[in-house]
Structure 1
Amino acid sequence: FRAIRRLYPLGFNEEVQIAKRDFHRVVRRAKRLYWRNLIDTFSDSSSVFKAVRWLKSPGPFQPPPLQVDDVVYESQIDKANALRRATLERRTADDDIQDPWMLISPLRPIPFPLEISLDEAQYATLHTGNTSPGSDNITVNLLKAVWHIIGTHVRRLFEKCLSVGHHPKPFREAEVVMIAKPRRRDLTSPRAWRPISLLSCLGKGLERLIARRLAWAAIHFSVLHPQQAGALPKRSATDLVAALIHDIEEAFARKKVATLVTMDIQGAFDTVMRNRLVLRLRVQGWPDHLARWAGSFMSGRSARVRYQDTLTPSSPLQCGLPQGSPV
């Protein structure tokens, strides 16, 4: 090609450019004419949806078959059900203790007020991004648009839920989206997938309100270790990384070797036991109405699994916390 360009420095290049421009012009006209003729032939809505599907990109990658215990699942519905069993149903209520309300001696009483102001309810519900809605399809933007009408009622709902220790059932219905974990190459293993729960935005407002109170009280009353960081006010994961880098650099400055030991709990969210958590809260000194709310939050949960373009029917979950919940 370079030799041809040297032989024909002007004419060849000019002719090629003209031919290239004419070719693209003809292709554009042909495409325009094809789509106009196609649109003119539409007779029902199914033809429109079919044309829209043609325009959608198939995506850069399709997950391979899933293998669980020497069984290979190929269809989307089979893989969705297999991931549900492998990630959300690894434990049952049989692994839990029987009575979380046994007689105990709390370490110390931790106050947790029942009163909720309108500003607190509004901040917990609306001061967040427009996250994906749950099964009710109510978005944060929709709640913002009608808050001047529903704000007082939402505050009363949150306050009553906290006082009686109850989490409404519609807030416990989740749509679990299976997302591939980053930097995981073997997508044939269930461990390469992370279940993210899409919950009601209104319910997450109540969860976010309680989570903020929990975080403040846990630090103020020294429930958590001073070096524990993450999801806590003024103790972010960034602070933890900065402290780690400081310790490593200090060790290197002293001509020493820095060693880091890490530990990961497999499926920590999905294996939390309801009764054990309630008992642990009571032992730490949290009030009974908060322990009852936590028990209600974890009981009677149900979920439907979304994998690619497939959505399974809703079915109950016996244990675990929804990964994606503010709590």
Structure 2
Amino acid sequence: MADFLSKAAVQKADIIAIQEPWENPYSDTTYHPLKQTHELLFPSSAETGGKSRVCIYISKRFGTEWTHHAHSAFCQEVRFLSPTLGMLRVLNIYNECGTTSTVEMLHELLNPRDQIILLGDFNLHHPAWGGIDSRQDPGSDKLIELCDAADLDLWLEPGTITRDQNGDQTTIDLFFGSPTLTDRLVVCEVAMDCHADSDHLPIRVIVDIETPPPPNNTKRRLWKVMDTEKLEKFVTQNLTSLRSWALDTPRQIDDAVEQLINIIQRGVEESTPWANPSPQANRSWTKECGEAVKESRRQFRRYRSTHSADDWETYRVARNQKGRIIKSALRKGFRKFIEEAVEQGPQGLWRVSKWARNRGQQQQGSVMPALRSANINDNNDIFAETDAAKVETLRSAFFPRPPDADLSDIANSRQRAPFPMPAITESEVRAALKRAPPDKAPGIDTLPNKVWKVLSQGSSERRFIPIITAIFDACLTIGYNPKHFQTSVTVTLRKAGPRDYRVPKSYRPVALLNTLVKILEAIIATRIAWMVEEHKLLPNTHLGGRKGISVDHAIQLILDKHTTTFHTSGYCSIWNKWD
């Protein structure tokens, strides 16, 4: 313990949590060499009913804006206020081997609404944190139940060795945190540079609690209440000039696309209000619910002015009717949400899981720490701290310069004659629009597929479909992709699981294209898929990405090959090679 606390990296920490600290045989305290920089939180035996098995060193940089709570000899807590997150609770625990008494006590202490960091020596083994080869202790399920009840995420990567004694490597020292703090987690790792003479390995955790969450200044339309008739009328009246445009050059195509998008966006402004999101907003809420609430309030105001028995009875009926309408709407909305999730398969089930974990909480964007812009193994790492520097670092990681293609193996090859590509028809455009999912995230023009579906099915269809068909066909004929189709917005998301979020590779990019180009891409993809099958451009053994082909076909091919070989030679072997 003395060697551990003497290390410079340890002394820089804001909070140092120790389990099984050194016991002073002469006084009711423990080793404290950091009197200049840290306060020692070590309750007396009289306060906890026995010698404390955990202690906390808290930096004096915190001042006095914190409180200490000794729940028992095995559990201590520090609470302090964060200007961005409110009250934070840090609990340091020690759970004795073969018991779950401390874990059971935490059920009464933890509230899923609080911002919690839970850490300590749990002395419990389970594959959820020890890896698939870990054994499972009988009481480990209680810790999992605790994390579910308190809505805590595991911060340490499963399988990370935290105790190494004479060849026995286990994962029993754990870190958990609330989802809001998980979004601010920078790194949770074993800190070998701080290791001292102990079988337990030190764990370094960095959480950014000071950076304010990114402001959500992006306005969005309330597409659910879009006046489709007004949109169609406006677009129909303004599309007349586009029908006479020539589409023979890239410049003309760009101008036509820009004018089309401009008309649609002005139509959206006329027909669709801006959303005014509220923390209490519910997607299952309907107009009938709002009318029922208004009627109930109206009847209550009438009763308040007269206090008559008849008005009270009228109000009571309206109030009960309001409750039934809201209950029915919420039930239908939730059932629809579950049905949609089931139809989406595993992806939909993860969506339900995420909703269940985050319901009732205000959603905030993740905080991105300073990023390493040099080699992670280089001792002279350069950190990108400004937004502009982070953008450049992520761009270099996401879009590195591709290597030069090696064309030496096709130097003497002959290209076959190109296949004729007929003009795009209106029926192809209608089919692609019908298949397009309506609520996919739009690109920089903010127009979702729902707008194109509305314009292709109503009174504006006679003018809208011929115009975009002509634009698509012109792009195909001269081989040009309009500038508007090439513009995208790249959103950076954290990769799942415990990672070092100072490394750019811990993030993944999601490019949001303008939705109109996806309609053209769907048409071209359908044509390519047809040509591949019609002209037999792929071998029969190629199964991936082909329509109507599944893993069942691959299994059947293997079985047929096995049967044929066995009947021919009398034996058959199957080799499996993993790269």
Please tell me whether Structure 1 or Structure 2 has the larger radius of gyration of its CA atoms.
Answer: 2
User: Normalized per residue, which structure has more strand?
Assistant: 2
TM-score by length of 2: 0.30
TM-score by length of 1: 0.50
Higher relative contact order (Cα pairs below 8 Å, separated by 6+ residues): 1
